[in-house]
């Protein structure tokens, strides 16, 4: 849900003559639908809305069940976070708060459960409205780095020195 989560799929759609495009990111409750759709519309605007971006409410219970059924039927690889460093950090903070083992990157064993989608019902519960809302509520309370670093000032250029007379930086 960060600004770094705004991929551009429009160029591929444009270069291959597609009439429209969307993204599977729009199906995930872990993603901000307004951000995903905004990114899609912005990307489509670069090409005069040809192709156009398909704005639709993909985050329904039926879509969640369907995508996890497809994932389980095909035993797709199950990544435990979106892949960015912020998601890894925040996922592990939240997991620790919930008593869940940390994310394991790579290998055949996951930090929690299977490395592959196998149980559509259990996998869908991991993306339930309640779980996602709990995660982001915790993020709002505890992951805000502005609160953590509030009042701290960078000391470079301040003339502060260490014991050897070298300039120090508290960052």
Residue ranges per structural domain of the chain: 1-58, 60-149
Nearest alpha carbon to residue 126 among 63, 64, 70 = 64
Q: Are 51 and 18 in contact (CB under 8 A)?
A: yes
Q: What is the DSSP string of 77-137?
A: B--SS-SSHHHHHHHHHHHHHHTPPPP--SSSB-SSSBSB---HHHHHHTT-HHHHHHHHH
pTM recorded for the entire structure: 0.65
Tally Cβ neighbours within 10 Å of residue 10. 24
User: Does residue 19 contact residue 51 with C-beta atoms inside 8 Å?
Assistant: yes
* β-bridge partners, 53: 21
Residues facing residue 167 across a β-bridge = 161
Distant-in-sequence, close-in-space partners of 129: CB < 8 Å, separation ≥ 6: 29
pLDDT tens digit at each of 171 positions of the chain: 555 455 555 777 888 888 998 888 888 888 888 888 998 898 899 889 888 899 998 999 899 999 999 999 999 998 888 888 888 888 888 888 888 899 988 888 888 888 899 999 998 888 888 988 988 888 877 655 555 555 555 555 556 666 677 666 554
Q: Which of 171, 87, 83 is nearest to 136 (CA)?
A: 87
């Amino acid at each position: 849900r960060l600004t770094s989560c705004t991929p551009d799929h429009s160029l591929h759609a444009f270069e291959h003559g597609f009439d429209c495009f969307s993204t599977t990111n729009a199906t995930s409750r872990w993603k901000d639908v307004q951000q995903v759709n905004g990114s899609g519309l912005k990307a489509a605007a670069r090409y005069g809305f040809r192709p156009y971006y398909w704005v639709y409410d993909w985050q329904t219970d039926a879509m969640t069940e369907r995508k996890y059924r497809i994932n389980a039927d095909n035993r797709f690889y199950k990544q435990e976070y979106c892949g960015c460093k912020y998601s890894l950090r925040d996922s592990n903070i939240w997991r620790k708060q919930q008593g869940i083992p940390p994310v394991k990157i790579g290998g055949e064993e996951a930090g929690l459960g299977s490395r592959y989608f196998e149980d559509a019902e259990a996998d869908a519960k991991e993306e339930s409205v309640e779980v996602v809302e709990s995660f982001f509520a915790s993020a709002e309370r505890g992951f805000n780095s502005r609160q953590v670093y509030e009042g701290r000032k960078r000391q470079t250029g301040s003339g502060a020195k260490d014991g050897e007379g070298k300039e120090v930086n508290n960052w």
